[in-house]
Amino acid sequence: MLGLCKECITMNDYKQLHDELRSFHDLYPEEFSLLYRNNQTCTLNERLMKYQLKFNLLEIINRQVKSSYRIYSYQSCFFITDYKTNSLDQVFSPYDEEVNICAPFYTNELFKNQRVLEIGTGCGLYTTLAAEKDCTVTGVDINPKAVEYAKFNILLNNVQQYAKVMAADIESMLPLVPEYDLVIASLPYMPNPPTLSEKKTYSDGGEYGWKLSLQAISQISKRLNSRARLKMYTMNLGNEHTSYIELNPYFFFNDLPVSVTLTKICANMHIFSDWYTHKFSNNNNQAVILQWLDHLKARNLNYMHYVTLEITPASKFSLTVKRKDYNLNIAYPRSKNIYSPIV
Ligand SMILES: C[S@@+](CC[C@H](N)C(=O)[O-])C[C@H]1O[C@@H](n2cnc3c(N)ncnc32)[C@H](O)[C@@H]1O
């Protein structure tokens, strides 16, 4: 259980933990990402450990240090999130490739006192970054465990004056959408075969990955006030050159009184064999996955494209595409910034 629930924790303890993480990170940037990993000798900082223990972020069992939490750093902020687990309510762990696209996209144009709603806040990363700009931010997530982490991270980064989070799903937030200047929808986008028995809350985007994104586009954009925007990040199936959203824009936007800017498309992430087969390598669902990959490949949907979408209320439909290809090189299993348990 995270330290949030401990009565003896004070705001000063959060500050101390943040300060210790900062100084350790600045002194040993390489070790920071490898802390406690695979029993290797690394610079163990006693002061940092003291606070990690206080917040239950570490355990000492048989004189060995263990952690099931990951600590992710972005700019001046730190975020506690899950190390990879088998549990279906695992809290999404941000990673650089995605955050480097989304953080500027979501927050660059924000200014003081704007009202921001993030749907699918996860560990609270973008909620925190928006609050750092002195916006009033509400973050919601369907997963109560994610909300617990987001609360922790808001206190850790000292933005509680501007940010609040709660457990809620997209449906229940719809009536409140008109109150906000910016709605960020960071929803699950991984395609999952319908027959898959294990679907993680953070990654289940339905059969083609766009189930929740489509819901967000159609339901939120109708409710935006005239000055507001919806910003989304999603992944989109397609072929090597073109994303499905470009090929079939009316499938996504038909009948919507919105103008849409597809700000970035990052192609060349040939995920299927690598990502899924690694993910399900020791898993009973492997046969289901392989069959389903064949099904997509047969439809020439064998590439994933990163897509950022900005939607503003407007009288006329328009679709602009600006392409940017990223040479993504995502290796699995990832090791960066992960505290892995020592067994
Ligand atoms: C891909 S994760 C993104 C998390 C976070 N924004 C980030 O980038 O670190 C998607 C998040 O959406 C949440 N989610 C899934 N379905 C939802 C729904 N119907 N309403 C609200 N949140 C949902 C998941 O629990 C998960 O935390």
pLDDT in tens, 1-10: 564 556 678 9
Report percent pLDDT > 70 for the chain.
75
Q: How many CB atoms lie within 10 A of CB 336?
A: 12
Mean pLDDT is lowest, of 40-49, 124-133, 224-233, for: 40-49
* Helix (H/G/I), strand (E/B), else coil: 234: strand
Ligand 1 pocket member 143 (CB < 6 A):
yes
Nearest-atom number in ligand 1 for the CA of 203 is 1
pLDDT of residue 236: 78
Q: Is 170 in the pocket of ligand 1 (CB under 6 A)?
A: yes
Q: What is the pLDDT at residue 251?
A: 73
- In the chain, how many domains are there? 2
What pLDDT, in 10s, does the model give residues 14-28?
Answer: 999 999 999 888 887
Is 331 within the bounds of a domain?
Answer: no
Q: pLDDT grade, residue 281 (50/70/90)? A: low
176 versus 227: the higher-pLDDT residue is: 176
Residues 56 and 97 in one domain: no
Mutate to test the pocket of ligand 1, among 142, 165, 189, 214 (most ligand atoms within 8 A of CB): 142
- Are 165 and 296 members of one domain? yes
pLDDT of 33? 59
Examine residue 20 and state whether it is found in any structural domain, yes or no. Answer: yes
- Give 109's pLDDT tier (boundaries 50, 70, 90): very high
Residues 58 and 122 in one domain: no
Give the pLDDT band of residue 32 (cuts 50, 70, 90): low
> Residue 127: pLDDT band by 50, 70, 90 thresholds?
very high
pLDDT of residue 238: 78
Q: What is the CATH number of the domain that holds 107?
A: 3.40.50.150
User: Is the domain of 168 the same as that of 205?
Assistant: yes
Q: What is the mean pLDDT of residues 58-81?
A: 81
160 and 23 assigned to the same domain: no
Count the alpha carbons within 13 Å of 226 in the hemisphere toward its beta carbon: 1
Mutate to test the pocket of ligand 1, among 78, 80, 143, 190 (most ligand atoms within 8 A of CB): 143
Q: What is the pLDDT of residue 330?
A: 38
Of 35 and 52, more confident: 52
Angle at 106 between CA 103 and CA 108, to 5 degrees: 80
Q: Is residue 330 part of a domain?
A: no
- Is residue 146 within 6 Å of ligand 1 at its C-beta? yes
Same domain, 265 and 300: yes
62 and 93 in a single domain? The answer is no
Q: Are 116 and 138 in contact (CB under 8 A)?
A: yes
CA of 214 to the centre of ligand 1 (A): 14
pLDDT digits (tens, 9 = 90+) for 139-169: 999 999 999 999 999 999 999 999 999 999 9
| 182 and 223 share one domain | yes
- Give pLDDT, residue 276: 63
- The boundaries of the domain holding residue 36 are 11-68
Q: Please choose, from the candidates 133, 2, 10, the residue with its C-alpha nearest in 3D space to the C-alpha of residue 79.
A: 2
pLDDT band at 332 (very low <50, low <70, confident <90, very high): very low
Q: For position 70, what pLDDT does the model report? A: 82
Amino acid identity, residue 334? R
Which amino acid is located at 333 in the chain?
P
Q: Whole-angstrom Cα distance, residue 28 to residue 16?
A: 18
pLDDT exceeds 70 at position 282: no
The residue written with tokens 């067994």 in the block is: 343
pLDDT at 307: 80
| 77 found inside a domain | no
Q: Is 139 in the pocket of ligand 1 (CB under 6 A)?
A: no
Give the model confidence (pLDDT) of 177-215 as tens digits.
999 999 999 899 888 888 887 788 888 888 888 889 888
Domain match, 274 and 244 both = yes
Gap between the Cα atoms of 4 and 219, Å rounded: 34
**pLDDT at residue 334, as a whole number:** 37
Q: What's the pLDDT at 203?
A: 83
CA of 121 to the centre of ligand 1 (A): 6
Q: What is the 95 CA–ligand 1 centroid distance (Å)?
A: 15
Distance from the alpha carbon of residue 284 to the mean position of ligand 1, in angstroms: 25
The number of the ligand 1 atom at minimal distance from the alpha carbon of 102 is: 8
